[in-house]
Amino acid sequence: MSTKQVADLEDEPLVNPDPPSSPPPDPTAADPAWDGRSSKIALAYPILRDFTVIGPGEPCPTCKARGREDRTHQAHLKTSKDSSGVQRGPEAAHLATLQAMGFLRNSPESRQRAEDEARLAAVRGVARAANCRACKGTIARGEDGDFLAMCPNCGNRNGLPELAALTADGLRRILARDLVLGVEGLQEVEKQQLREEAAKLASAVEKGLAAGLQPLAEMLRELLAERKR
């Protein structure tokens, strides 16, 4: 990884273990070349880590757990550069993914992503515009200084904020809705769904035996009958 924002922040020795909420590194992914150090990353877009949403510029939860508020970075990844500049560690691949997807602040990838998202927002009509997208009529500004949210000529909506890229707060709202039960609750729901799936499968197989597999059942019965003779 050659980008500055990682190099500047990396290599804090893991003197204190991470808070108990972070899972231990997968031993099967352990890289013997990893020196055990972590890299701090600064975010350009929100991520979900250990069931917690972390947004750009927000305090790092790992540092917070150690009693320090630090907004220069948002997470510590279990990866560090070896002597030849290659990232080593259980989260080396994760770091590469985050970089490729434009999550790292001040990276070429995050700048590209910002451009892409802006273009997409323009196509979608996220922001309110001076002219109606439907009738092309002029739309005046309202009391809030922005253009009116509805076209006064044809009633078409002006601006579709719900189609904007998700912010950290938006992600939190979604998670709050889905994580009412908490992590354990979600796992319980998942187990229940698995049980229901298994029951459905069993019932489908039974029906299959009753209908489509009837000839096979007949054949087996005949074979067994022959044996008895």
**Residues of the shown chain interacting with Zn ion in the complex, contacts defined by CB under 5 A:** 60, 62-63, 132, 134-135, 137, 151, 153-154, 156
Task: Provide the minimum distance between the beta carbon of 69 and Zn ion in the complex, in angstroms, as a whole number.
Answer: 10
**What SS3 string covers 137-156?**
CECCECCCCCECCECCCCCC
Q: How far is the CB of 57 from Zn ion (least distance, A)?
A: 13
User: 170 with 151: CB under 8 angstroms?
Assistant: no
Q: Give whole-number Cα distances, 171 to 54, 125, 174, 215, in Å.
A: 9, 21, 5, 54
Q: Which is nearer to Zn ion, 64 or 221 (CB)?
A: 64
- Interatomic CA distance for residues 200 and 220, integer angstroms: 25
**Under a CB-based contact definition with an 8 Å cutoff, are residues 95 and 5 in contact?**
no
Measured at the alpha carbon of residue 118, what is the angle toward residues 113 and 123, in degrees to the nearest 5? 125
Smaller CB separation from Zn ion, 59 or 170: 59
Q: Least distance (Å) from Zn ion to the CB of residue 158?
A: 8
Q: Least distance in Å: CB of 154 to Zn ion?
A: 3
Judged by beta carbon, residue 130 or residue 179, the one nearer Zn ion is: 130
Q: Using the minimum distance from each CB to Zn ion, give the nearer residue, 3 or 156.
A: 156
